[in-house]
Structure 1
Amino acid sequence: MTGSRPLSDRYDVAVLDLDGVVYIGAHAVENAPGGLAAAREAGMKLAFVTNNAARPPADVARHLTRIGIPAEPADVVTSAQAAARLVAEQVPAGAPVYVIGGPGLEAALREHSLVPLTTVGPEHPEPVAVVQGYGPDMPWRQVITGALLVREGLPWVASNTDLTVPTPRGAGPGNGTLVRLVAEYADRSPVVAGKPQPPLFRETLARVGGKAPLVVGDRIDTDIEGAIAVGWDSLLVMTGVTTLADVAALEPALRPTYVAADLTALTREVEAGTWSAEVVDDRLRVHGTGDEHSWWAAVSLALWAHLDATGRPARTTSVVPGSVAP
Structure 2
Amino acid sequence: MSDALLAAYDSLLFDLDGTVYHGARVIPGAPEVIGEARAAGTAVRFVTNNASKAPAAVAEHLNGMGIDAQPGEVHTSSQAAAKVLAERLQPGAQVLVVGAPSLCDEVEAVGLRPVREHSDQVEAVVQGHSPDTGWANLAEACIAIRGGALWVASNVDKTLPTERGLLPGNGSMVAALRSATDREPIVAGKPEAPLMRTAAQGRALVVGDRLDTDIAGAVAAGLDALVVLTGVDTPASLIAAIPAERARFLAADITGLRASAEETLIAPKPGWTVTAGPDALEVTSDGGTDALDLLRTLCATAWDTGVTGVKPVGDTAKAALSELGLIG
Q: TM-score, normalised by structure 2?
A: 0.84
Equivalent of 2:189 in 191, 194, 218: 194
Kept in 2, the 8 Å contact 1:260–1:297? The answer is no
CA shift, 1:288, in A, is 5.2
Q: SS in structure 1 opposite 2:36?
A: helix
Kept in 1, the 8 Å contact 2:82–2:107? The answer is yes
Instruction: Check if 1:318 corresponds to 2:313.
Output: no
Number of aligned residues: 308
- The code of the aligned residue for 2:228 comes to V
The separation in 2 between residues aligned to 1:223 and 1:25, in whole angstroms, is: 18
CA shift, 1:248, in A, is 3.4
- The code of the aligned residue for 1:257 comes to R
The separation in 2 between residues aligned to 1:286 and 1:148, in whole angstroms, is: 62
- The code of the aligned residue for 2:257 comes to L
The separation in 2 between residues aligned to 1:284 and 1:74, in whole angstroms, is: 49
Equivalent of 1:136 in 131, 134, 145: 131
Deviations 1:16-68 (A, max 9, x none): 11111101121111111111110111111111111111111111111111111
The separation in 2 between residues aligned to 1:99 and 1:31, in whole angstroms, is: 37
The separation in 2 between residues aligned to 1:92 and 1:23, in whole angstroms, is: 38
RMSD across aligned positions (CA): 2.7
Q: SS in structure 1 opposite 2:319?
A: coil
Deviations 1:88-144 (A, max 9, x none): 0011222221101111211211221222111345xxx82221111112113432221
Match of 1:228 in 2: 219
The separation in 1 between residues aligned to 2:88 and 2:112, in whole angstroms, is: 11
Correspondence 1:131-210 to 2 at 5 A: 131-167=126-162, 169-205=164-200, 210=201
CA shift, 1:9, in A, is 3.8
Structure 1 unaligned regions, length at least 5: none
Match of 2:122 in 1: 127
Match of 2:248 in 1: 257
Q: Which moved more, 1:237-246 or 1:176-185?
A: 237-246
The separation in 2 between residues aligned to 1:306 and 1:176, in whole angstroms, is: 29
Point out which structure has higher relative CO (alpha carbons under 8 A, 6+ apart): 1
Kept in 2, the 8 Å contact 1:82–1:203? The answer is no
Instruction: Check if 1:50 corresponds to 2:48.
Output: yes
Match of 1:18 in 2: 16
Q: SS in structure 1 opposite 2:250?
A: strand
- The code of the aligned residue for 1:27 comes to R
Kept in 1, the 8 Å contact 2:22–2:163? The answer is no
Instruction: Check if 1:305 corresponds to 2:293.
Output: no
Q: TM-score, normalised by structure 1?
A: 0.84
Instruction: Check if 1:108 corresponds to 2:106.
Output: yes
The separation in 1 between residues aligned to 2:163 and 2:252, in whole angstroms, is: 24
